[in-house]
């Protein structure tokens, strides 16, 4: 079955694909390629790739006509494109084959609501029930899908796409070429409350006004169901090129650095500062008021409670350097056995101490 997301009837030779990604062909450069498929599903006429060592064993059985490989796997007995970064080459080739979205007419649907004081750029697309508030500025070629909400005084940069039912609260700023997926919330009030012991029942938590905004710089992607809180004093800032997965919570006054990627279900507590090109894997928890240095990687389900210096990979709760965590994890399955061994040794030591005490008492001339 031909994938519906690939361009119909498009073909490229292996040499053309190699030139497109700056790779080297080994084998028949004139081989005709119809598309890209995963290594386990690829058949004749398709190209696949290997970037993870876990899948190297599948090179022997894949039915793909060609494979994108790193230099150490170039001799596999079939045509290959050799490149130091097969994953990036795969992404570029996939984009080459990917079908372009069908052109859609521009304009404002009759059911969309646009304030008379709002400013809309050229060639915008506002789908049914989209909303644009007072004095909001929406740039050129912006798309607001059904139910998208752009609050009063917001600024939305050119070529940004806001998907269905996403909300951008009053005053927030979104840069150019951003993508905000369905049900995301940008600029909502965070969990800002001060305890008031003198207040009556049900009023213990006094709400702190959240006076700042949320700012998304250019080329930011926000996944579905995300919450990016507005700042309490000052702003919450997602820097240029950052990518945030689904159901991530970014609390008030957090700063996310350029080109950082945050995987699904991660939480970043208030006033934390995340550096550039950081990777936070799934379900990571970042404590508030700490700093994560540039180019840090934090493994899945880790809890970070302290500042992390630039570089390095951290794992565990609390997060420590990954080699240290692996040593701990290697011991964990043996803990019951080690506990029994220690208890046995403790009993033996106690017996020896008792015997030594008895022997000492017999040999004590004062007794």
CA distance 185 to 244: 13
Higher-confidence position of 184 and 101: 184
The answer to whether the CB of 119 falls within 8 A of the CB of 138 is: yes
Judged by DSSP in three states, 276 sits in coil
Q: What are the structure tokens assigned to 341, written together?
A: 């061994």
Confidence of residue 52 (pLDDT cuts 50, 70, 90): confident
Q: What are the structure tokens assigned to 149, written together?
A: 């909400």
Just list the catalytic residues. Answer: 252
Q: What is the mean pLDDT of residues 273-295?
A: 98
Q: What are the structure tokens assigned to 193, written together?
A: 């409350």
Q: The whole model's pTM is what?
A: 0.87
**Alpha-carbon dihedral 117, 121, 127, 128, rounded to 10 degrees:** 10
Phi, psi of 334 (to 5 degrees): -95, 0
pLDDT at residue 10 in the model: 85
Q: Give me the half-sphere count of Cα atoms (radius 13 Å) on the Cβ side of residue 173.
A: 13
CA distance 277 to 203: 42
Residue 349 has pLDDT above 80, yes or no: yes
Number of separate helices (H) and strands (E) present in the chain: 4, 40
pLDDT at residue 153 in the model: 98
Task: Give tens-digit pLDDT for 157-205.
Answer: 999 999 999 999 999 999 999 999 999 999 999 899 999 999 988 999 9
Confidence of residue 4 (pLDDT cuts 50, 70, 90): very low
Task: Give tens-digit pLDDT for 217-261.
Answer: 999 999 999 999 999 999 999 999 999 999 999 999 999 999 999
CA distance 189 to 209: 8
Closest by CA to 181, choosing from 153, 160, 211, 204, is 160
pLDDT at residue 57 in the model: 87
**Alpha-carbon dihedral 61, 63, 65, 67, rounded to 10 degrees:** -50
At a CB cut-off of 8 Å and minimum separation 6, what does 345 contact?
A: none
What is the enclosing helix (H) or strand (E) of 312?
Answer: none
Confidence of residue 2 (pLDDT cuts 50, 70, 90): very low
Q: What percent of the chain has pLDDT over 90?
A: 84
The answer to whether the CB of 226 falls within 8 A of the CB of 179 is: no
CA distance 367 to 363: 8
* CA 76, 81, 82, 87 torsion-angle sign: negative
């Amino acid at each position: 079955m031909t994938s519906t997301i690939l361009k119909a009837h498009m073909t490229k030779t292996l040499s053309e694909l190699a030139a497109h990604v700056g790779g080297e062909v080994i084998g028949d450069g004139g081989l005709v390629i119809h598309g890209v498929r995963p290594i386990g599903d690829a058949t004749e006429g398709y190209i696949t790739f290997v970037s993870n060592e876990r899948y190297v064993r599948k090179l022997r059985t894949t039915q793909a006509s060609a494979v994108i490989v790193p230099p150490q796997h170039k001799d596999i007995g079939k045509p290959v494109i050799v490149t130091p970064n097969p994953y990036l080459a795969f992404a570029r080739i996939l984009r080459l084959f990917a079908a372009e979205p069908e052109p859609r007419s521009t304009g404002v649907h009759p059911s969309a609501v646009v304030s008379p004081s709002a400013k809309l750029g050229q060639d915008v697309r506002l789908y049914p029930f989209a909303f644009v508030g007072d004095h909001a500025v929406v740039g050129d070629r912006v798309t607001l899908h059904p139910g998208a909400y752009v609050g009063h005084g917001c600024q939305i940069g050119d070529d940004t796409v806001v998907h269905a039912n996403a909300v951008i609260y009053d005053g927030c700023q979104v840069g150019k070429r951003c993508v905000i997926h369905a049900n995301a919330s940008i600029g909502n009030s965070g969990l800002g409350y001060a305890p008031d012991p003198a207040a009556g029942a049900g009023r213990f938590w006094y709400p702190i006004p959240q006076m700042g905004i949320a700012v998304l710089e250019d080329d930011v992607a926000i996944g579905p169901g995300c919450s990016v809180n507005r700042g309490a004093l000052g702003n919450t800032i997602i820097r240029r090129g950052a990518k945030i997965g689904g159901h991530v919570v970014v609390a008030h006054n957090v700063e996310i650095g350029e080109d950082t990627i945050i995987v699904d279900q991660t939480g970043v507590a208030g006033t934390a500062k995340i550096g550039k090109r950081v990777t936070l894997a799934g379900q990571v928890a970042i404590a508030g008021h700490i700093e994560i240095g540039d180019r840090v990687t934090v493994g899945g389900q880790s809890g970070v409670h302290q500042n992390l210096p630039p570089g390095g990979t951290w794992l565990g709760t609390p997060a420590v350097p990954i080699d240290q965590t692996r040593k701990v994890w290697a011991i964990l399955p043996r803990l019951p056995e080690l506990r029994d061994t220690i208890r046995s040794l403790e009993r033996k030591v106690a017996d020896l101490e008792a015997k030594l005490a008895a022997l000492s008492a017999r040999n004590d001339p004062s007794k």
